[in-house]
Amino acid sequence: MLKILKYSFYDLMRSRWSYVYFLFYLILGFVLLFLNNDVNKAVITLMNIIIVLTPLIGTIFGVMYYYNSREFTELLLAQPINRKKIFMGQYLGISISLTLSLVLGLGIPFVLYGLFKSAAIFNFGLLLVVGSFLNFIFVALSYNIALSTENKIKGFGYAILMWLFLAVIYDGVFLISLVMFDEYPLDKFSLIATMLNPIDLSRILILLKLDISALLGYTGAVFRKFFGTNLGMLLSMSILVFWVLIPVLRMNLKLRKKDF
């Protein structure tokens, strides 16, 4: 598996898009820091961008890589390697290279700005951890979609729809249902609904840590009360881990029956 990981990783590191993605974060980091002049504020702005952008890029990279390397995957499948290892290697290769773009792209400007002397280091660290989780989650989800869809265009469409649903539509439906049923107790509902969407969960996780959860109103209050601080963090993190594990598990199950 390590060999496949290595080649997928090198292949992606050679692709122009990895650099574009890295440069984007690098420029974003510098611009935000020097315009805001405040690490904490920059972290909040970054959060809003990362929470929507990393899932989108993860989804697109995942689907594109799968469809573009189809014939090559066939060549690998005829070699004496377990097919699970081939796909896990590719999956980790994409996820790690995207995560590296994120961590280095944002890390460099923040370190240069004097992150280590700032109190915001934990918040920033959390932001990177959550961003990395979102990379791993959405590459896994998009790989699932690609494995289940033979047609490239359809697969691409489904993947974008999945992103649109989790990043935009889900929130809309969630809000509407909160308004519609506001006469009922909604604490549990809103908690569970938030956990079922990794993007929402990441947002809440960072906002809670930033101590601006009062801005969140209802949901924030519920979350504060339910999770406390450390326990809430632990629980949310483990749910993010599940969000990685379950798609990866399904990927492996799907692979057992898949024809190439």
Partner 1 sequence: MIEFKNLHKSFGKLVVLNDLDLNISEGGIFAILGPNGSGKTTLIKCLLGMVIPHKGEITYNNKSVLGKWDYRNDLNYLPQIANFPPNLTVKELIEMVKNLRPKQSNEQDLIKLFGLDDSLQKKLGNLSGGTKQKVNIVLTFMFDSNLIILDEPTNGLDPIALIHLKELIQKEKTKGKTILITTHIMSFVNEVADEIVFLLDGRIYFKGTVDELKKQTNNDNLEHAIANLIAKQYA
14 is a site residue for partner 1 (CB under 8 A): yes
Stretch that binds partner 1, among 55-63, 74-82, 134-142, 200-208 (CB under 8 A): 74-82
Taking phi over 0 as left and psi of -120 to 50 as alpha, with beta for the rest, 24 belongs to alpha
Cα 109 from Cα 35, distance rounded (Å)? 13
Nearest-approach distance from CB 66 to partner 1, in angstroms: 13
Helix, strand, coil: what percent of the chain each, to 5? 85, 0, 15
Cα 50 from Cα 42, distance rounded (Å)? 12
Nearest-approach distance from CB 38 to partner 1, in angstroms: 42
Residue 238 CA from chain centroid, whole number:
14
Cα 224 from Cα 32, distance rounded (Å)? 29
Q: Which residues, in sequence order, are CB contacts of 87 under 8 Å at separation 6+?
A: 143, 147, 251, 252, 255
79 is a site residue for partner 1 (CB under 8 A): yes
Nearer to partner 1, 11 or 200 (CB): 11
Nearest-approach distance from CB 258 to partner 1, in angstroms: 8
Nearer to partner 1, 152 or 224 (CB): 152
Interacting residue with partner 1 among 1, 15, 210, 226 (CB under 8 A): 15
2 is a site residue for partner 1 (CB under 8 A): no
**Would you say 13 and 97 are in contact if contact means Cβ atoms under 8 Å apart?**
yes
Interacting residue with partner 1 among 7, 19, 30, 170 (CB under 8 A): 7
- Exposed e or buried b for every residue in 31-57, given b needs 16+ CB within 10 A? ebbeeeeebeebbbebbeebbbbbbbb
As given in the structure block, the two tokens for residue 218 are 């209802």
Interacting residue with partner 1 among 33, 57, 76, 92 (CB under 8 A): 76
Interacting residue with partner 1 among 72, 122, 181, 218 (CB under 8 A): 72
Interacting residue with partner 1 among 78, 119, 180, 215 (CB under 8 A): 78
Q: Which residues, in sequence order, are CB contacts of 3 under 8 Å at separation 6+?
A: 89
Interacting residue with partner 1 among 9, 11, 39, 130 (CB under 8 A): 11
Nearest-approach distance from CB 14 to partner 1, in angstroms: 5
Interacting residue with partner 1 among 17, 181, 218, 260 (CB under 8 A): 260
Q: Which residues, in sequence order, are CB contacts of 73 under 8 Å at separation 6+?
A: 86, 90, 260
Nearest-approach distance from CB 69 to partner 1, in angstroms: 7
Residues engaged in binding partner 1 (CB under 8 A): 3, 7, 11, 14-15, 69, 71-72, 74-83, 256-260
